[in-house]
Structure 1
Amino acid sequence: MDINRPHVLAEVNALFDTYESALVTNDIATLDGLFWESPLVVRYGNGENLYGIDALRAFRAARATGDLARKLTRTVITTFGHDFATANTEYQRLGSGLIGRQSQTWCRLAPGWRIVSAHVSFLPPPQ
């Protein structure tokens, strides 16, 4: 299996950048479009477990939009073959200083690359 084919890695990196921009500007339409439109898509958050695109959409429509700006501190994107990738990043929220991590599983489907599974969580503050 080819890992990190340059053209596939470039595609996923560009989509990851699109996601990041949409996230910090609360561009709900773009965020929704990047997720698999399926009842099988899953997103685990810091305080919610979302199953299915309808649950993700409802969450995005209702979530608080303060403290969205963040600085990515470490990102690792790995592609496997032509149609599968993972994206993992650590970040710090600029307003609150909270430190978090995010993982995404991307798959190339008929409409194009989509996030099929995601996880977001915060780390406990340092003691």
Structure 2
Amino acid sequence: MLPTKEKLIDHLLEKMTNQDIAKIYGVNYQKVIQLIKRYRLDPSELRRVNLYIVYEHHLNDKVVYVGSGVWYRCRRYTNRRNTVHRELMVSGKIQYKIVAEFKEINSARRHEKELIKKYKANGQAIFNKQVH
């Protein structure tokens, strides 16, 4: 089954990649591109690709990682240094939450550091390095 227009819009608003959407529905990413064209959607506008994000990775209702970067960064696992974190992402056990968007990367990074300190103080953000 393929996503409805409304569901596809939801996925794009969540900044999901075409590959991530395709995986959910058991199709290839080219099919997702076809649907985007058929529904006349603008994925860049819906994903707000011109903004920087701050995001959290959740495991069992706990924050295990806080990060920042461009729109697709939160779901990328190939650049994760921690193998446990990477495996949890590959296996689909991590939930993703975008918590803020910023026009400037420095603002995003400041917010990211604040959140890391907050979660580290509560014994969370276990995959983040300590920030000073």
Identify the TM-score tier after normalising by the shorter chain: under 0.3
What's the TM-score, normalizing by structure 2?
A: 0.24
Normalized per residue, which structure has more strand?
Answer: 1
What's the TM-score, normalizing by structure 1?
A: 0.25
